[in-house]
Amino acid sequence: MKVATNDKRNGDTALMGQKYCGKCDTVKPIDDFGKSQNRKNGIQDYCKPCLNAYHRSRRVRKGTEGENKTADMKAYQAEYRKKWLVDHPDYYKEYRAKRRDHLNAIKRAWVAKKRNKI
Ligand SMILES: [Zn+2]
């Protein structure tokens, strides 16, 4: 019995248009397996239903991990920002100065426009 299992796992069945899926422990037609560029034989190790279930479970896990990561990231970014502002104390001063110039330019343009009308 062991030999038969090994034959299945070695992919001999692939030659007959069938392949063994280690997830559901079933020999299925090649059509039930997706293509894979990462595999030597160009076929996924697991059948499509198994891979779909696998990816779905991964997505769910990733989703919750992602949420935790977002919270962690926010805390990290807030911390980083504080440190960054200590290292770049003039950044906002310069930013405000630039913005003031910009706003003044708009104001001047507006005043000039109004003056031309009168
Ligand atoms: Zn399967």
Residue pLDDT, tens place only, 5-44? 445 555 454 557 899 999 999 999 999 999 888 888 888 9
User: Residue 3 CB: number of other CB atoms within 10 A?
Assistant: 7
Distance 27 CA to ligand 1 centre (A): 8
Question: CA 43 to CA 41: how far, in whole Å?
Answer: 5
Distance 63 CA to ligand 1 centre (A): 24
Which ranges in 37-90 belong to alpha helices (H)? 48-87
- Provide the β-strand partners of residue 19: 28
Residue pLDDT, tens place only, 89-111? 888 889 999 999 999 999 999 99
Ordered structural domains, the chain, with CATH: 1-87 (3.30.60.130)
Distance 48 CA to ligand 1 centre (A): 7
Whole-model pTM? 0.40
Mean pLDDT of 43-49: 92
Q: Which residues surround ligand 1, an ion (CB under 5 A)?
A: 21, 23-24, 47, 50
Amino acid identity for residue 23 in this structure: K
